[in-house]
Structure 1
Amino acid sequence: MVEFAGWSMPVQYSNLGVLASHMWTRENSSIFDVSHMLQTRWEGKDVTKFLETLVVADLKSLPLGSSTLSLFTNENGGIIDDTVINKQDEKGYYVVSNAGCSEKDLKHIHSQLESFQNKGGDCQVKTLDLSLIALQGPKSCHVIEKLTNKSFKDFSFMTSRRMEINGVEVYITRCGYTGEDGFEISVSHDDVVKLTEVLLNEPEVELAGLGARDSLRLEAGLCLYGHDLNEEISPVEGGLTWTIGKNRRVEGGFLGADKILPQIKPGGLKRRIGLIVEGAPARENAEVFDLDGNSIGFHKQGTDLKVKVRNKLQDAKVTKMPFVPHQYYRG
């Protein structure tokens, strides 16, 4: 167990090491306890208008029951946090964001909300006191179908629904952060242990911790806030231009739009890329060099480079991401 964003979290479980847990998730199904994530409910007649001032997504076009990955931005065009926004019903949105950013997220949200309400805007934001578990891996759908006796062929990636699993009421979204098919399940604190035990009774399911969660996330080319993203990195520089809705690129209207939108065509001064490195693994903040020994940033796909690892230059090559193909269920 280690400290993580003010929570005590498991790095791994006794029956599987990190590598074994990683491979189990790629081949079977794993449960990740992500109850530390911030879950909020947003509603009011002006909720879409308000939320679009804070994030880059085109929420007016988001279908009912669907979700989108988006970003909270600041006035300078940096990223305050990444978040998943779900159009839960006609009245409002269900939003999940990072535990490590929860304090600053809520401070930012409520500061902007107070200003919005003072100008007559109708919107309320409530923090939800619920547990959250992620069931991830290619056999996850089979497990849920078996426990509910329902077919999920019409349950596509990034859509949500209310349902019961073995008598437990949940709000379930077909998504996750491993690159595999899977589900995030929001459930009451009173029922989460019962639900987890029911899932673990299935032979395809094991528990997984932070170690496998990070390696799976990295292979899938997915960002980790505080490492790949921060308040000094823009959506364009973070390789997340695709999260900026088509209408938002024209209309703007979100914090930092005047800094972010002009970066889209030229691509920004810096950008997140993938590197395959030979030998020992390169760690965060490792220096990157061209073949002549000049310290550089990034270059086009396929470019040969050098990366300094333990004061030794190792061969590296720029590669496209994700490193491992996504297996999301598109229906």
Structure 2
Amino acid sequence: MSATDTPLLKTPLHALHLELGARMVPFAGYAMPVQYPAGLMAEHQHTRTAAGLFDVSHMGQLRLVGDDAAAALESLIPVDVIGLPVGKQRYGLLLNEDGGIIDDLMFFNRGDDIFVIVNGACKVGDIAHIQQKIGSRCEVIPMPDMALLALQGPQAVTALSRLAPGVEQLVFMTGGRFTVAGCDCFLTRSGYTGEDGFEISVPATQADTLARALLAQPEVKPIGLGARNSLRLEAGLCLYGNDLDISTTPVEASLNWAIQKVRRTGGERAGGFPGAARVLAQLDTPATLARKRVGLVALERVPVREHTELQNAEGRRIGEVTSGLLGPTVDKPVAMAYVEPAFAAIGTRLNAMVRGKPVPMEVAAMPFVPVRYFRG
């Protein structure tokens, strides 16, 4: 049997997606809903104005357990793990020995463990990598029996607090254990849309009950992968495999903010992560970078997709688009791209070559829409 013949995995909500009329597509080895009958545009706008429910159960969940778990994880990522307080979450980057990004992830200090969420397409490799590198220092416990739902949008808190009073007291990147509609959930006030919202880890056996209870709230509608992609792009958030990959360092990806001072040159725990020499050198001398991730807005109403070549005014190749579409909220074509640093300044004009014709674009600040995380 070839790789292409491998049957697609199904999330615990597969039957519900079909019942709701979802169009299913292969994604990260799973059959996933790309959109429901309302369509991508309506789903995108509903998430921006009310609340959308996403099935992200294809993501990988794992626990790191033991007294050395924080220090062990810190040896794999250029991020402050040891200093993360109990009850708080942080974004991290799993790096290889060249400083290339193996995956991006979220981790949460639950006190009795560190709870980690990795990308679906990378989870098998990530878990093997983490097990191999730090399995002798802490227990690495995958959680394949857990589902993951995301409830996103300005009315997410209204809908969820009806079922789980107290969640409204959480702020961005905090979380806790809650009973939601009788289901045993661990949830964080976070997400990947630029909106306020929650990610909810729940036993797979309870996922259908939880999803139906959330969808019964008047604010909530089901949202597919299509709108998830347009929402995260407008929010300036990277998609692994498009905007980040093994050939990209955190500094090239403009993710310097994700590397806390304590892990940088001069910090008390500086370095000590894979590829540290290269990553710290790029932080200290950004002039040495060959390319940099930027946001782009098209000056004509022509969507510019990933892999589109970017040229300067003289027609020389200077970069490539990694994500691009017509942003439903901003109502204009937006993109992320890697360009030579000389073309990375806000306001710089360049051309995207779409079917052989130049489409003028301008480097723009990200996010393309104001983010609305609830910080209290």
Other-structure match for 1:71: 93
Are the counterparts in 2 of residues 279 and 314 from structure 1 also a CA contact under 8 Å?
A: no
Instruction: Give the C-alpha shift of residue 138 in structure 1.
Output: 0.4
Of the candidates 325, 346, 349, which is equivalent to residue 301 of structure 1?
346
Other-structure match for 1:48: 70
SS at match of 2:122: helix
Task: Trace 1:287-326 onto structure 2 (pairs within 5 A).
Answer: 287-296=309-318, 297=339, 298-326=343-371
Letter in 2 for 1:198: A
Letter in 2 for 1:103: V
Structure 2 portions without partners, runs of 5+? 1-23, 319-338
Other-structure match for 1:87: 109
Other-structure match for 2:176: 161
Instruction: Give the C-alpha shift of residue 51 in structure 1.
Output: 0.5
Letter in 1 for 2:34: V
Letter in 2 for 1:112: K
CA distance in 1, matches of 2:164, 2:115: 23
Are the counterparts in 1 of residues 292 and 344 from structure 2 also a CA contact under 8 Å?
A: no
CA distance in 1, matches of 2:101, 2:316: 30
Are the counterparts in 2 of residues 289 and 306 from structure 1 also a CA contact under 8 Å?
A: yes
Other-structure match for 1:265: 284
Instruction: Give the C-alpha shift of residue 151 in structure 1.
Output: 6.3
Task: Trace 1:1-331 onto structure 2 (pairs within 5 A).
Answer: 1-14=24-37, 16-89=38-111, 91-114=112-135, 117=136, 122-128=137-143, 129-150=145-166, 152=168, 154-249=169-264, 250=267, 251-267=270-286, 268-277=289-298, 278-296=300-318, 297=339, 298-331=343-376
CA distance in 2, matches of 1:148, 1:58: 31
- Matched length: 322
SS at match of 1:70: strand
CA distance in 2, matches of 1:214, 1:185: 19
Letter in 1 for 2:274: L
Q: Deviations over 1:230-275 (max 9, x none)?
A: 0000000011111112111131111111111100133322111001
CA distance in 1, matches of 2:83, 2:105: 17
CA distance in 1, matches of 2:344, 2:73: 35
Letter in 1 for 2:367: P
Letter in 2 for 1:105: D
Higher RCO (CA < 8 A, seq sep 6+): 1
Q: Which moved more, 1:173-182 or 1:278-287?
A: 278-287
Where is the strand percentage greater, Structure 1 or Structure 2?
Answer: 2
Q: Which moved more, 1:93-102 or 1:275-284?
A: 275-284
SS at match of 2:227: helix
Instruction: Give the C-alpha shift of residue 30 in structure 1.
Output: 0.5
SS at match of 1:11: strand
Q: Deviations over 1:132-186 (max 9, x none)?
A: 100000000011112224461x311000110111222210100000000000000
Are the counterparts in 1 of residues 160 and 167 from structure 2 also a CA contact under 8 Å?
A: no
CA distance in 1, matches of 2:349, 2:26: 38
Give runs of ≥4 in structure 1 deviating > 6 Å: none
Structure 1 portions without partners, runs of 5+? none
Letter in 1 for 2:115: Y
CA distance in 2, matches of 1:71, 1:140: 28
Identity of aligned residues (%): 44
CA distance in 1, matches of 2:131, 2:184: 30
Letter in 2 for 1:248: R
Instruction: Give the C-alpha shift of residue 33 in structure 1.
Output: 0.3
Q: Deviations over 1:189-220 (max 9, x none)?
A: 11111111111111110000010000001100
CA distance in 2, matches of 1:275, 1:265: 26
Letter in 2 for 1:236: V
The alignment yields a C-alpha RMSD, in angstroms, of 1.2
